[in-house]
């Protein structure tokens, strides 16, 4: 079985290290704080090591990276160049060209590059994706996702980069293609230059559209994905505590035979899905990708597709924020 070294024992890195340890593959833990690395190693039956040590260790097959986002590219590149398979928490990089470089490097070296888009491994989303691909909802008309909460406010990245990658990943997975047009708008309310509310839109070649609303300035937590198809509608509401209520299908009918479309409402139908920890499934996928040389669902190419959408949204957001600033300046003169 694969031998994994984990890099970055922070807020999310702790969960990754725990899961790899529970799966019996965690060999070493790396952190900028040697005391944190030592404590993690002791807790999980691994050893504390430096990044250079794990790169040079021929017994280590893969490296899991959960460092600050600005380090993802340099650390993933070093790991791939050292012949290691790489799992990197989202985003793959902060720059599209760098992400393309990582994908090309992994391909040249015959290594697995995987990105941490956790919700692709959520059993509820897996079931929803299956229903969509089998045509249970019909042709997709639009999908919208809300990822809203109160805090945690950030200074290093805006809410688009912090919250939206998971939703973009899910929407791209449902449509099975990349959008041909992306737009975004937002507000900067507290930290200068950091948007704390962003809405973005994606329009797909097949005619459908996707919409994502993100905010850490919302009165309560909401994680809701709504999928509208020609035959049925589905709602994945991950913030609900009852697992059996998280996914529902609404088989509403719309009669278009008259001058005005007339809807006929149907009762919500709960959809069953096996209950399991998405992160454990994601970690298991990385292990299988190494051991069986299979391509993970969220491989480098998938991460690159998400990053391209994020990049387009960020540029559109910057333009709209500049227009807002200009309008405020003009109004004050």
Question: For the chain, what are the domain ranges?
Answer: 4-111, 120-278+311-317
Q: In terms of DSSP bridges, do strands 253-255 and 262-264 run parallel, antiparallel, or are they unpaired?
A: antiparallel
> What is the pLDDT at residue 332?
62
pLDDT for res 296: 96
Q: Are strands 181-187 and 85-89 parallel, antiparallel or unpaired?
A: unpaired
CATH number of this structure's domain 120-278+311-317, picked from the four choices 3.30.360.10, 3.50.50.60, 2.30.22.10, 3.20.20.140: 3.30.360.10
Residue 25 neighbours by CB under 8 Å, 6+ apart: 1, 2, 3, 4, 287
pLDDT digits (tens, 9 = 90+) for 231-254: 999 999 999 999 999 999 999 888
Q: What is the pLDDT of residue 65?
A: 98
Closest CA to 211 of 249, 182, 246: 182
Q: What is the spatial distance between Cα 5 and Cα 28, in angstroms, rounded to a whole number?
A: 5
- What is the pLDDT, as a whole number, of residue 155? 75
Give the residue carrying structure tokens 């090309």: 104
DSSP 260: S
Alpha-carbon distance of 289 to 1, in angstroms, equals 11
Q: Which two three-digit tokens encode residue 82?
A: 């050292």
What stretches in the chain show pLDDT beneath 50? none
Question: In the prediction, which pLDDT does 333 show?
Answer: 60
pLDDT for residue 328: 73
Model pLDDT, residue 151: 81
Strand partners, 299: 114
For residue 157, the model assigns a pLDDT of 84
pLDDT for position 331: 64
Buried b (16+ CB within 10 A) or exposed e, 214-235: bbbebeeeebbbbbbbeebbbb
> Torsions phi, psi of 247, nearest 5?
-125, 125
In CATH, the architecture of 4-111 is 3-Layer(aba) Sandwich (3.40)
Asked whether this chain's domains 4-111 and 120-278+311-317 adopt the same fold, the reply is: no
**For residues 21 and 46, what is the distance between their CA atoms, to the nearest angstrom?**
8
pTM exceeds 0.85 for this model: yes
pLDDT at 263: 84
Can you spell out the DSSP letters for 201-239? EEE-TTS-EEEEEEESEEEEEEEEEEEEESS-EEEEETT
């Amino acid at each position: 079985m694969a031998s994994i070294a984990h890099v970055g024992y922070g807020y999310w890195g702790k969960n990754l290290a725990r899961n790899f340890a529970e799966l019996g593959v965690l060999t070493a833990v790396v952190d900028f704080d040697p005391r944190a690395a030592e404590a993690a190693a002791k807790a999980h039956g691994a050893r504390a090591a430096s990044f250079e040590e794990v790169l040079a260790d021929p017994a280590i097959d893969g490296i899991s990276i959960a460092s600050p986002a600005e380090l993802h590219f340099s650390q993933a590149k070093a790991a791939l160049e050292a012949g290691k398979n790489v799992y990197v928490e989202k985003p793959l990089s902060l720059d599209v060209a760098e992400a393309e470089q990582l994908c090309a490097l992994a391909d040249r070296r015959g290594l697995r590059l995987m990105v941490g888009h956790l919700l692709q491994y959520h059993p509820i989303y897996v079931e929803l994706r299956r229903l969509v691909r089998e045509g249970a909802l019909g042709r997709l008309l639009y999908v919208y996702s809300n990822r809203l909460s109160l805090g945690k406010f950030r200074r290093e990245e805006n809410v688009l980069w912090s919250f939206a990658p998971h939703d973009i990943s899910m929407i791209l997975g449902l449509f099975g293609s990349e959008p041909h047009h992306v737009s975004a708008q937002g507000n900067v309310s507290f930290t200068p230059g950091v948007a704390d509310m962003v809405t973005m839109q994606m329009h797909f070649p097949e005619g459908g559209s996707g919409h994502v609303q993100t905010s850490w300035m919302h009165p309560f937590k909401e994680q809701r994905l709504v999928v509208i198809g020609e035959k049925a509608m589905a709602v994945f509401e991950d913030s609900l505590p009852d697992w059996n209520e998280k996914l529902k299908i609404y088989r509403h009918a719309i009669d278009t035979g008259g001058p005005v479309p007339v809807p006929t409402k149907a009762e919500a139908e709960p959809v069953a899905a096996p209950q399991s920890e998405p992160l454990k499934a994601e970690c298991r996928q990385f292990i299988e990708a190494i051991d069986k040389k299979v391509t993970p669902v969220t491989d480098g190419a998938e991460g690159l597709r998400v990053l391209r959408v994020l990049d387009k949204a960020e540029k559109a957001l910057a333009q709209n924020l500049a227009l807002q600033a200009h309008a405020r300046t003009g109004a004050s003169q």
